[in-house]
Structure 1
């Protein structure tokens, strides 16, 4: 280890106070002041480093995948000389990330500087092996070779086993980096130097062994001269000088004199190859080049090497590229693809894929190719399972990458179960089912596209039938997807197509009956209806087709009516301040409040005589007709004319009806937990449902136990009434036709106002063409007083006022014309009639 590194690794011994006292006081000179300042500065820096260590330790505990924190932590520990912590920090980083060649060099050198004994030799050798395995690095290989020569006793003593071990290590280094155009010559030279050292150890009397060693050195020269490397001319000169030393040639007039013809031919070819590659090497040697530009330069270089057809040179060039750009996933993908299609060497392919996913673990495609490559190479189920489990723990950019991993794993299991002649122990279909279940639990409709979700479930259901031989399990697969995404058309279509594909026609027909009344997203409801008709044309009898047609036709009408209603609600009532249906008022079954519209004089009907500042309901409808489309207004008037009228003397606002109840069923005794879906499902066999209303209590928000269901025609209404007394959610329903006339007569009116002054005001005029909830005027009771509990209701087609409530007698309100006769004469302030006594009142009646 160099001197600076050794100093950084030293652990300072603590100085004692006694030792300081024995030396006596320090001389007062500038150097002593400088030394004191330096020590103070060092202590300050050490304090800062310790604080930084604590911060980095905290960061790594929270996130062990923080790469920069790992690097800084190791550097700080190395600078402070914390040996044990440094080892643990390096081991921890190695588990999460591949270390750079420089980091491996520092680690190995630090361990060598601490202990050179043979006991730790094997551990340091393992460090070098891990380092040269991660990335291609000629300097790291050179350090490894030097370490073995110096520290391995068998090698240093030139024992036969040590010589064999060293030659094997050199050959590995040449295979890894011997064709490296720029740095490969360093390994060749080191190899030749080692063999020449061996030559010097051979005795002069052993001519046979010396001759063999000379041949080994000559062979190394010939091999190197046939490879395009930097300074190839210098290698040729060294070779000729060496041959002169051996006494084989003495003519140095020409550079190729004394060189065998085959070596000259190989040398010239290598020189041409180097000249062809020099421009690519010049591009890579630039220091100011960006990573994307460097990547492109490597790709151009690799493409050129691939055209030469030498896989070993292409592989080395890929290794050089990934050592410079380890985080470029596209580079790893291209490298792995090349190995899969061209090199196809089992241990090399596995090794490269393993390093690729360590460097770019966030790329799902790399993991998928890794699994496929292992399957091609005949990997065991244990190895495949381990790789898959590692991949699922990674963080990918999209859920589709996770899905692709699950499907790749399932594909491999299916192939090995279906086609392998000899199955592995424990390899059976339950593994596939468990993998599908894991995927289903992992994903939901919100995570991935519906096409991908269908791909997963349809594949699962098909394998349940073909491999699992369980049609019930396949049905359960689809039913589980229906629960998740039953409102999506493609889900039902996929389920039906599977049934048809296996020849289950009746089961497919029952699915159509289940789903044609459901509210599917988009235009799915219409499409499933037409799909049912096509199905019956192709697979059913005429009776099946007629039945489907009878079911589908009212459903399509219902959907068309709903679409029309949506268009009316969206376009017929523009959002104007004085002509807008209030959206803040909760929807009621019979009516919805609309604001009173004040019209200009030119729009007022001449034959109407409303109060000043008031507009009758008929005028409001007429004005709305002038402002809006005629067809829309006609529908609104038709709906309004079918409603009963209820008077409210307090609000004086007319209300328009939303529902006609002309083809409506009244259902009572409903379970309070029931929802619209339950009622729609209950009437699904008859069909024709256009609307469902479940009234709720205003105060509690709970259901009131009854509902109104509108049907498209009388036929469907009759079918619904026929289901009277049938159970839904455990309770027998009472179903009858809704009678709007009866509902109006029995509709409760609001009680009269308790304001004592109200009785002396004129009561509001009753109108048969409008409906309002009125506050009844006080009525005189039999004792001459007034009753404010009476209620009045005026129904359409009836001109008389009918009081309802506890007081059942009829009495005219005070605002009605008096019995004395005409009241046309206005009463001024001076013409107020005095109240009559009983005698005066009796005399007036007798006179009349």
Structure 2
């Protein structure tokens, strides 16, 4: 079966099928395949030219020129391509002998020079072809036509226009008229201004986005509409999947040119190229309304938008809002037909949010029920139907909004404007009862209302109600504060107990020092190891967690500020050449040999120092010191490499006491448009499988499966593509496909920002600093929360506590002992004493 039966929207799949059929010479199946592809996607210049040439060959056997003309008409609409226009004009010359043939050729040439005659680098060939055609059918009466063509071309800035001028001088028997010389000089000046932009395009690598952007900005300042248009078209022929470029172009056409056919056809091409971009559909709907499109057309475009596959829940809310706005504007509230249609659309939008959006994204996209609020206002203002408005507000409040003061005040204001004082009072009493964010404010509004409108009885009741509520709120706040203080005190006590235990343990170890560890290692290593364990901060809190414990994502934190004993011996201490390795299994046999095997490809190793407990068992972390700092970046690339079924964390060795601002969170927390985030993968899915699935949509640079510390997969992954266009395509094509029976979700990578997270388990950002939609396509789900290091979730880390191998900032900076556990340097008198005691 054809791969297209699996996914008809896979662009590359269509391209491969067409190549295959062309190789096999299956001309009729090839025609069908191209037809199918052109219905779903705009085709590139290369694909159109191939198709057109094949069709021209086919029609030589069964003459049907009209069919080819129709195909050319479709081809020139997808992108503005000089080569296609030239091919079209030259093909039409072949039909010159038929009735009206010459007029048809001229008409096509005229449209071609209008469309691409201003193209700085390729426009010239269209003008020349037009002149050659007129020359070929030359008669005395038509000399003037060629003069006119020369004059028109010479008035336009084109590269190498000097050659055309010289040709005209030679061709014209009476010399070049003064007016033509004047126009030509103006065009040359303009060409000189454009030359730097053209030269920048010549040397730039595809897709030349920045160079085109600069060129467009220049043309927008110059203000010639035809030149602005051709520059946009040239940019889009190479950047057809860049939504921002289409948005900039359509905005220009909407606000400046305003020609209906041009505006609407460009909007249609924009959504055809970037269907996943809600903003393009929204501006298309507005443009259709602006230019008086019939209702059926607008509705059809809206339905297409709903099926376009947007990547976040809020996009669906916004497109529905745009359509509902349009429906409201066409309603004559004195007649019932359009009003019923508007109400039906509002009702359908709420149903759509509930059953389609929430099920797909796991969130509504409209937590404040903006659509319902607008519907309620329309019912109140235009239809004088307060009963319906109240029903809607009742529904809004039951969706978790009753705790917010601003929601109650919004409803109260609606009642003030279109309702009555009974319902105003009722709303404010309920607000006082339910509001938990700003209770004082709603209490104040109730009292102000009764001052103006209420009886004494109403006033007394309001005072009593507000006092009762505020007393209760204050009690709750006092309890919460007390609980917090108790927790802080308990934490301080625990820290003090840990400190005492540590001191006692240290004293014990000094007594037992050397004996047990000597059974495990050579005496020299034993001395070094005990010095490390005693004086480097003990690092009790850093055991690699058991397999069940939830681990943070991202690189392990920096080495503990332990490693400090090296300060006594600068020769041994060299953080610049070292890395800290953690999350190895406690049960790892011969850790030194394993670490050597893993890191020897990074460069010559000076020493490997796995860390052991006093009893000789491996602690799950250690240090690698290289001969040269150049090996460190190579070693850091091995972060998360699998070692006996666990991801090993590799991070720089940094003394945090000297570098308190050092940050170790490796992975980006901003939106990464060239990277996609995949959830819902089967746990059995491997990197190779995922790379294989993803490579159909672009160049895969890296695949990262997210795992727990134990190595167990989470069913999540990140795939990095060569650019954001490929990533956008991958989202569109991969979201919702099945992998080994699991339906996966795919979105542009957009982890939540670190500074907005409250606590583990929190699902709301703190304050209003960040709008909901910054969390990306799927909201702020658990999977994205788990991408943060645990240290970022905590309000404070107790002194001495170590996170992921980095000592807490508050740990004392001094530590006895030196770097590699060598005996401390001896003075002359120390040596004298040793000699005397021998």
Q: Quick check: 1:170–1:191 contact (8 Å CA) kept in 2?
A: yes
Q: Does 1:194 align with 2:145?
A: no
Equivalent residue number for residue 441 of structure 1: 351
Q: Residue 191 of structure 2: which of 274, 283, 291 is its match? A: 274
Q: CA deviation at 1:215?
A: 1.0
C-alpha distance in structure 2 between counterparts of 1:331 and 1:525, whole Å = 47
Q: CA deviation at 1:413?
A: 2.2
Q: Quick check: 1:410–1:432 contact (8 Å CA) kept in 2?
A: yes
For residue 396 of structure 1, give the secondary structure of its aligned residue in structure 2.
coil
Equivalent residue number for residue 711 of structure 1: none
Q: Residue 301 of structure 1: which of 209, 215, 219 is its match? A: 215
C-alpha distance in structure 2 between counterparts of 1:100 and 1:547, whole Å = 74
C-alpha distance in structure 1 between counterparts of 2:229 and 2:238, whole Å = 14
Q: Quick check: 2:368–2:401 contact (8 Å CA) kept in 1?
A: no
Equivalent residue number for residue 782 of structure 1: none
Query: Structure 1 residues 356 and 486 mapped into 2: Cα distance closer, same or farther (>3 Å)?
Result: closer
Equivalent residue number for residue 305 of structure 2: 391
Q: Does 1:92 align with 2:36?
A: yes
C-alpha distance in structure 2 between counterparts of 1:449 and 1:182, whole Å = 47
1:526-554 CA-partner distances (Å, limit 9, x unpaired): 55444433332343233211111222322
Q: Does 1:163 align with 2:102?
A: yes
Equivalent residue number for residue 230 of structure 1: 159
Equivalent residue number for residue 219 of structure 1: 148
1:374-429 CA-partner distances (Å, limit 9, x unpaired): 1111111111111111111122233332222222222222223259x9x9xx9611
Equivalent residue number for residue 797 of structure 1: none
Q: Quick check: 2:206–2:238 contact (8 Å CA) kept in 1?
A: no
C-alpha distance in structure 2 between counterparts of 1:232 and 1:118, whole Å = 42
More relative contact order, 1 or 2 (CA 8 Å, 6+ apart): 2
Pairing of 1:781-800 with structure 2 (within 5 A): none
Equivalent residue number for residue 111 of structure 2: 172
Q: Quick check: 1:429–1:467 contact (8 Å CA) kept in 2?
A: no
For residue 362 of structure 1, give the secondary structure of its aligned residue in structure 2.
coil
Query: Structure 1 residues 114 and 493 mapped into 2: Cα distance closer, same or farther (>3 Å)?
Result: same
Number of aligned residue pairs: give it.
Answer: 486
Q: Quick check: 1:485–1:491 contact (8 Å CA) kept in 2?
A: no
Equivalent residue number for residue 463 of structure 1: 378
For residue 23 of structure 2, give the secondary structure of its aligned residue in structure 1.
helix
Equivalent residue number for residue 425 of structure 2: 509
C-alpha distance in structure 2 between counterparts of 1:230 and 1:575, whole Å = 79
Pairing of 1:706-785 with structure 2 (within 5 A): none
C-alpha distance in structure 2 between counterparts of 1:78 and 1:169, whole Å = 29
Q: Quick check: 1:454–1:494 contact (8 Å CA) kept in 2?
A: no
C-alpha distance in structure 1 between counterparts of 2:224 and 2:58, whole Å = 44
For residue 331 of structure 2, give the secondary structure of its aligned residue in structure 1.
helix
Equivalent residue number for residue 497 of structure 1: 413
Range moving further from structure 2, 131-140 or 69-78: 69-78
Equivalent residue number for residue 389 of structure 2: 474
Q: Quick check: 1:374–1:384 contact (8 Å CA) kept in 2?
A: yes
For residue 137 of structure 2, give the secondary structure of its aligned residue in structure 1.
helix
Structure of greater Rg: 1
For residue 8 of structure 2, give the secondary structure of its aligned residue in structure 1.
coil
TM-score by length of 2: 0.55
Q: Quick check: 2:254–2:287 contact (8 Å CA) kept in 1?
A: yes
Q: Quick check: 1:179–1:313 contact (8 Å CA) kept in 2?
A: yes
Q: Quick check: 2:17–2:33 contact (8 Å CA) kept in 1?
A: yes
User: Structure 1: any 5+ residue segments left out of the alignment?
Assistant: 1-53, 200-209, 250-257, 581-848
Equivalent residue number for residue 406 of structure 1: 320
Query: Structure 1 residues 338 and 427 mapped into 2: Cα distance closer, same or farther (>3 Å)?
Result: farther
User: Structure 2: any 5+ residue segments left out of the alignment?
Assistant: 495-838
Q: Does 1:183 align with 2:145?
A: no
For residue 157 of structure 2, give the secondary structure of its aligned residue in structure 1.
coil
Equivalent residue number for residue 261 of structure 1: 178
Q: Does 1:239 align with 2:154?
A: no
C-alpha distance in structure 1 between counterparts of 2:486 and 2:249, whole Å = 65
Q: Residue 75 of structure 2: which of 113, 131, 136 is its match? A: 131
RMSD over equivalenced CA pairs, Å? 2.8
1:161-201 CA-partner distances (Å, limit 9, x unpaired): 111111111100010001111111111111111111212xx
C-alpha distance in structure 2 between counterparts of 1:387 and 1:350, whole Å = 12
Pairing of 1:312-323 with structure 2 (within 5 A): 312-323=226-237
1:101-151 CA-partner distances (Å, limit 9, x unpaired): 11011111112222325653222222211111111111111111222222x
Q: Quick check: 2:112–2:126 contact (8 Å CA) kept in 1?
A: yes
Q: Quick check: 2:92–2:104 contact (8 Å CA) kept in 1?
A: no
C-alpha distance in structure 2 between counterparts of 1:394 and 1:488, whole Å = 36
Q: Quick check: 1:128–1:144 contact (8 Å CA) kept in 2?
A: yes
Pairing of 1:16-55 with structure 2 (within 5 A): none
1:250-296 CA-partner distances (Å, limit 9, x unpaired): xxxxxxxx21111111122222222221111111112x5353xx222
C-alpha distance in structure 1 between counterparts of 2:259 and 2:451, whole Å = 58
